[in-house]
Every structure is written in C-alpha cells, then in structure tokens.
Chains A and B, each alone.
Chain A
C-alpha cells in the first residue's frame, strides 16, 4: 500500500496540495439567516391572489378495474373543479424513463393510493369532505405484494414477466473458481422499505396563464425532470412551461421524481379552473402515497482460499420496484455495481432484477440501491470471516482493493485507495481490538450484551457509466446587476449546502470573497440545465463546471481589456460592472467535460462505472439489553475519504445526518404493509431517530484530492447512508451470537432470535476442501 500511505502522508504534510482561502473553510450557510428567523419561504408559506386548493382522490384497492365514479350527496359539486384522466390535454404519463406511469388512473388501478381524480376548491375543509364523498366502484383483480410472489410469475402484473430491469455483471470465470475454494459460504440478506421522511411534506402551486403558459412552484430536487413531465402531460411547448424551485424542506431522494406527479395534478387543476392551485400533502398522504426506498433481497455465494483470500462471488440482488417502472432500473444499477463493495474479486458474477408488485412505486432515496446491496455484502463479510475463523477486520484487510486493482466492473482504480489506512485508523479510533476482548469477557455475566461491528464500503460519485455524458450539464456564471457574481445552475439547495459550496468554489477560483458570490434561484426559464440534484454529483461534477465557467468569465474580461491579469478582487468586481455598462450582460457558460479514460460498456456493464469513489470504514458499538431486547448505540466512528473537504461543518453535517438515517434504517424504521398499502403512515407509528436516540457520532475525514474534482472534491451526500446498518447489525450479532440478516432489526426481532433455538443460516461448508485447504 505504499501509494496509499504516501497519499495520506502528503495530505498530512500539506504535500503538494493547493492552498485555498475560501474552499475548505466553514463559511456561514448562504440561506442560514432566513431559515433561522422564519423568513425563508417554503411552498406552503406562499399564497397567490385567487388561489384555491387541490386534493387527490386515490385508489383504495391494490389492483383492478374502475367501474364507476359516484359523487355523493350533500356536496355542492358545482363549486368544485373536477379533473379526471379525460381532462389531460397531452399524454397521460409522468414522463421519466419508461413513461409507464399514468398521471391519473384511467380505467384501471395498479396500486393502493394511485391517483384517480382531482378536486379543487377555495376552502380546504370543504375539500376534505368532498374527497371523502367520492365513491369509486372497482372490480378488484388479484395482486402481488412481495418479491417472492412476483418472481413466481403465477400472476403477471407488469410487462411479460414482472421484471422492470435486469443486469448481469460478469468478471473472470466464476464457474471455474469453486473447485479451488477452501470454503464456500452462502448467505441471504434482506432490507425493508424506508420512508425518506423529509419534515416538509410534498407540495406545489401551479398557475396557468391565458396564453397557454404554465408556471409551477414547488418543493423539489429536479426542476428539469418536472419540466419534462409537464410538457408531456400538457402538450404545451417547452418554452411555455416554467418550473421554479422554492425553499425545500428536506428531500433525500424523496423529492427527485414524485414532485413531477404532484406538479402534473396541480397543473391540470389550474388549467381547468383558471386559478392558481396549491396542493400540499399532509403527512399521512405523503407517507402512504409517495415513494420509499426499494425493499431488497440479496443472496451471496462466496469462494474463499485457505488463507482467507476471496476467490469468487455469485451474487443475486433483487428489489421490489412497486407498480410502475419509475426509477427502479437506475436504483437497481447502482445497487448492482456496489454489490461487490470495496474488495478485490478475481471472479464475480452479479445478477440483479427489479420486480413489479402492486405497491406504490419505490423510488429514489439517498444511497439509491447501494445501502441495500452493501448491507448484504458487509453482513456477509462478517459471516464469512466467522465461518472461516478469521477476525472480521483481518478478513477484510486481506481483500480490500488497492490502487491499480479492478472493481467488479473491471474498472482499474488509478487513483490512490487508502482503504487499508482507513481500516486501521477506524479500528484505532474506536478502540476496536481492546473492546472486542473486553466485551467477550463482559458478556459472559452481563444481561447488557455489548458488541462492536464494522462496515467497509465505497460510493460512486456522479451518474453511473455514461450517465454524465448524456446529462451534459451546463453551468453559468454572471456578473450580477446588484454587484458581485451569481452562479446559474439547476442544482437545488435542500439542506445539503449547494448554494454555499458552489459560491465558495466560484469565489476561490476568481480571488473573490465568499460574500461576493451568490447562487441564483433555480428557475427553468433562467437557469441552465445542470441536471438533477442527485447521485452525489453536485460538489464533484457541478462544482467543477462552476470552476471552468468562472475561469471563462475571467477570460472574457481579460480579452475585453477591462481586466489586467494581475488584478485583485476590487479591480475584478469593478471590471465586471464596467463590462455590464458597456456591453450589457456578462455571462459565461461551461459544459460538462468527462475526466479522461472514462469508458463504459452499457451492454456488458463493464468499465468506468463512476469517475471517482468515496471510501469509508464505519465502526458501531452497541449494547443489547436482553431484558427489553432494545439496542443502544454507545459510540459511532465514521471515517471516510471524500477527496478535498470543501466545507468542514457542512461535510460533517452530511455524514452525521446520513448516519442518523442509517441508524433508523437499521433499528427503527419499519414500513408495515397490508395488501400493498403502508398502514403505519404517521410519525406516531413510523419511528425515526430522535435527539435522544442518536449516539455520539464521531466524524473523521482523510483527504486525498481527486484530480478532476473542484479543488480535489469528490461526492459525499449518499456515502454515509451505506455503512451504518451493516456496522450496527454486525455489532448486534457479535453481542448476541445470533445471525440477524434482515433490517429493520426491531426489539421483537431480537426477542424472537434470542428466544427461539439459535439457528445459524444454512451454509454449505465444503469440509473436504476445507481440510485440504488448511494443511
């Protein structure tokens, strides 16, 4: 690992790194004061003259034909704007990838809570009564609600085979590898759905103009996704449709694709009523009707040599996509690529499938498939280590990727990988070895069983494969009328710090102060399309284009003769204003340029899956109370390498927030399903971590600058979602001696595990080969 150590040492000494003034400092968040004083305006805080309210009538069954819609008595229906599928002027789809999801069900429904009919009225209370008075008569049809039901294919509910998408990754010769194995270890792991639970429910306001124009304001991540969906739905020319993002109260993927649906509904009501229409979901509607993290099942079969070297993997990764394709293909893709984790596999085969069921479509949620497949892998690594008799850290150490090795997709990692260093340092920071010894002794006599567990993982930054090439993001920088500089992007702020880090990068690039730069509000009629705000791409991909656009703007000033190359901040700002006075606008736009040597074969799923990866080792320490079966997390170490840290406080905040969501994923957050419907759709009975549940989360960074990121930055947002669940469950397994392989792991599951006869999961130990191998 000489290169890796060198990379870390370089960093410690300051090495050959760029010295930065603004980047790398914890400047105040741009929109911080407005948020802290209650002045920030979120969608439900806005009101327009003549505005009325919209509501959605939804399917009460999982699947079937709509036979009749009856409007009950006692409601002055003439006061209401009523919209059905028949009122859609364009195509009845929520346009995204496959375009199979109707905006309003037309004749048939495929999941509970599917939108069927829309109502609008000036009085919110009257609206609620009217929704309850619509009676929809169905002819119910059989339905599917689990992966297992869907894969049996006794009933087909989507396409020819219930499969939205499948992938195959094949490296080396897996079939030949089994015969050389000292051990072959199998395992099966599963993960449940998880609600994003942004504290601000979804909402939009739509306004239709007299001249065939449409404007939608809303809480969202991806204004151009919404724009595309509205154009398809309304049939309006693209230039007549305008989408404006307002302050967004949390998203986590939950406001990636679903807001396009709500925007479509509000638009249809606004076009028909000729008034501005506001739709705000209440919490119960938001939880029941909108997307969640895909439930998954992963099966591992692993060949290991006598010295604990991984020889081969056969991995089957399947997800429940719900009733429509939406983003299931891309979620599956990321989960599939991450299924082999940060290890070197000479031979690996990953087969994956996303299945259709009659639940509301599952969708984007921070991590996007990787938390599922990495939970399985990192539980399995502990299981294999235990089976072959190596400590979990040592087994990992022998198999971690090193610089120059290839990933599951045969991508050669040219950048330094510091995983071995991260592993050693995380063990040291958490006092791992000492605790393993102490806990073993402690657990002999105590009813408070202690355990410590780890997870080693990676997360690819940016869109997968050729995705960034297709997105072809554009970023602008302009001299603002009010002085200073504005960054023009469609990359949205929803708490992560987009506005702050992009301003830092522009200021750093041009020798300006942080306060000289702001980010323009995101408005599709003004902002260039820098793509969706997803996939841990904003810092690394968009940040880099901000840098090149800023340099281009400077070059324009130099070429105009208004700026001397040696000019400082004040001269630069003055030159911007002089240019504006003389020539009008001063703007510069730049387009995405791929880092060199990025090749991706979409057919074979082979090549540079991501331009760069963030790497991490997390360690969780837990106490399992075997009287109450509850788990307390006593300590949590989160150590990662994310390239240059652009803003230490924001970066640590991203990690802490992701870890907290990961704790919820592991131990608390259980979606309870009944016939495809979430029945605990309230904060009262769907439990997310509170201030009292969160352990000390100790965050550490190693910085190995990435050559093609802005000032060396890589992606960060999704990474912390991947590691907590396996680290925590590994700790619980160590504490209890029971193999728990599913999340969420609730006290009742631990009770069941500890009170039923302990059964290790089935595994085929080829003992003859083992004997041979251990000679």
Chain B
C-alpha cells in the first residue's frame, strides 16, 4: 500500500519532522496519527467547528481542510507547542483561571484561535474577540468565559 506515498517535511512545535504520507491526507490525520499530536480534534471534518485549528506558517487553519502536502516546508504550531516546561502559556493560564474550558474538546482549537488573534491584535475589543473566535464552536460555555479569558490574557504584561 506504499504506492502513491511521498515524503513531506515540516517543523512542528520547533522540531523537524519527515513523514511518509499520501499527499491528499488531511494534515489533521497526520498530526494525530503518525505524529501522536492528538490535541487537535475532529469535531466536524468540514471546517465548521474549528476544533482542529493549528497555526501553519503563523496562519490559523482548520487542519481538517489542509492536504498534508501543503505543509511541505512549513512551520506548524499545535496546542502541544504552547506550554513551555510545564508552565502554561498566558492564554492557557487565563482560560484555566476564567473558566474558559469546560468539556475541553473545543479548547485546543479555541486557544490556538485566541493565540492567533492576540498576536495580530494584542488589545482587542470584545467585538474583535467575538469575530476572532467566530470560527470556533463551543457548545458548553456560551463563550462568555472564553471572552473573559481572552480579555484577561490581553491585559498588559501578558505575552500573547
């Protein structure tokens, strides 16, 4: 079954990786299965829920919609790459403190969307937060405490 496979190389969470894949395999599946990075989740498989969000060359993407070939040479960041040495990233810390995570299934994607938002706009308004997280569905929280968490993380002194 190796016919049609090719090698794709990229950097994920600071580590260079080469994987043998079918070129049209979903980036989500490659991250989860051969690479064991199961933080990104599949909620819908059609780019609606955002649970599979990762950063590809600094851009927020739904990894269920990205053919792995498109990641050739790219720099990827997943939820597993955020916390350094057991210290939560300020956004993760804010989610924990503010009650931004309940069941946790949307959380990795939501946190990545918040990271992306705060990198582009370190002091967003509530409306900008709503828009920035508009592609990530959460069924538990009603979003309110997620907004609070992003506001908290955006306070001066945090390093989004």
Contact = CB atoms under 8 A, between A and B. Distances in A.
B146 A29 contact: no
B46 A682 contact: yes
B97 to A, nearest CB: 7
Q: Which of B40, B98, B135, B145 has the most C-beta atoms of chain A within 10 angstroms of its own C-beta?
A: B145
Contact of B46 (A40, A657, A684, A694): A684
A691 interface: yes
Given A28-B96, A41-B38, A283-B45, A697 B103 contact: no
Contact of A199 (B43, B96, B98, B130): B43
A653 B38 contact: no
A199 B49 CA distance: 8
Contact of A33 (B78, B88, B145): B88
Q: Which of A26, A41, A197, A657 has the most CB of B within 10 A?
A: A657
A395 B95 CA distance: 43
A712 interface: no
B49 A28 contact: no
A439 interface: no
B147 to A, nearest CB: 8
Interface in A571-597: none
Interface stretch (A243-251, A555-563, A738-746): A243-251
A97 interface: no
A620 B104 CA distance: 29
Contacts of A697: 142, 144
Contacts of A689: 142
A199 B137 CA distance: 8
A198 interface: yes
B152 to A, nearest CB: 12
A264 to B, nearest CB: 24
Contacts of B39: 37-39
Interface string A31-43: 1111111111110
Contacts of A31: 104
Interface in B129-160: 129-131, 133-147
B99 interface: yes
B139 A38 contact: no
A282 interface: yes
A36 B80 CA distance: 9
Contact of A683 (B79, B137, B142, B145): B137
Nearest to B39: A38
A688 interface: yes
Contacts of B38: 38, 41-42, 44-45
A660 interface: yes
Interface stretch (B3-11, B68-76, B106-114): B106-114
Contacts of B51: 199
A688 B137 contact: yes
Contacts of B32: 45
B101 interface: yes
Contacts of A197: 139
A246 B153 CA distance: 30
B101 A36 contact: yes
B102 interface: yes
B31 to A, nearest CB: 10
A45 B130 CA distance: 29
Contact of B134 (A28, A496, A691): A691
25 contacts: A29-B99, A32-B101, A33-B92, A36-B96, A38-B40, A38-B108, A45-B32, A198-B103, A199-B49, A201-B43, A496-B102, A656-B145, A658-B142, A660-B139, A660-B142, A660-B143, A661-B139, A683-B44, A683-B137, A688-B137, A690-B137, A691-B131, A691-B143, A691-B147, A694-B130
